[in-house]
Amino acid sequence: TVATGHKINYQHHDREGWGEKIEWLNLADGFVKAKNENIPVMVVIHKMTCSACVYQKAWFSRSKKVESLSKNMVMVNLEVHEVPSLPEYTPDGAYVPRILFFSPNGKFMPDVKMTYNPQYKYNYPGEIDLTNTMKTVIDKFR
């Protein structure tokens, strides 16, 4: 239970194979934790049958760097059908996979994106791109 009296339902399982050592939360609980602890939120949006998602999940779930950095932010994992119908979740389209970052107060951070792929700004093709972005976001709220 957090200070607000809101019971958080932590999802310690690997959330469909994306990392068993990552503390995955649902969206609502994730934003509560982010606000209470003043840490950013990373939202992974995917589809189980998408080949690009399967590729991303393979390197993501094995990455010790992603696992380590995830301890400094709230991690949310959504299947595409779980994504809220709000514009901040589809800033440049509804493609998958995409990874979005939110401030501790729940505001979407549109400037946190890949700069060299204008067609898929929120798709991270590899560990280095993602972990560099995660470090940047974490440092903004230290």
Express each pLDDT in 57-72 by its tens digit: 999 999 999 999 999 9
The count of structural domains within the chain is 1
| Residue 19 covered by a domain | no
The answer to whether position 13 is within a domain reads no
Question: What CATH number does the domain containing 49 carry?
Answer: 3.40.30.10
Banded model confidence at residue 13, pLDDT cuts 50, 70, 90: very low
Give all strands (DSSP E) within 1-142, no chain letters.
24-25, 41-46, 74-79, 98-102
Q: Residue 130 domain-assigned?
A: yes
**Is 55 inside a domain boundary?**
yes
114 part of a folded domain:
yes
Parent domain of 130: 24-140
Whether residue 34 lies inside any domain: the answer is: yes
Res. 132: pLDDT tops 50: yes
User: Order of strands, edge to edge, in the sheet holding 98-102?
Assistant: 24-25, 74-79, 41-46, 98-102
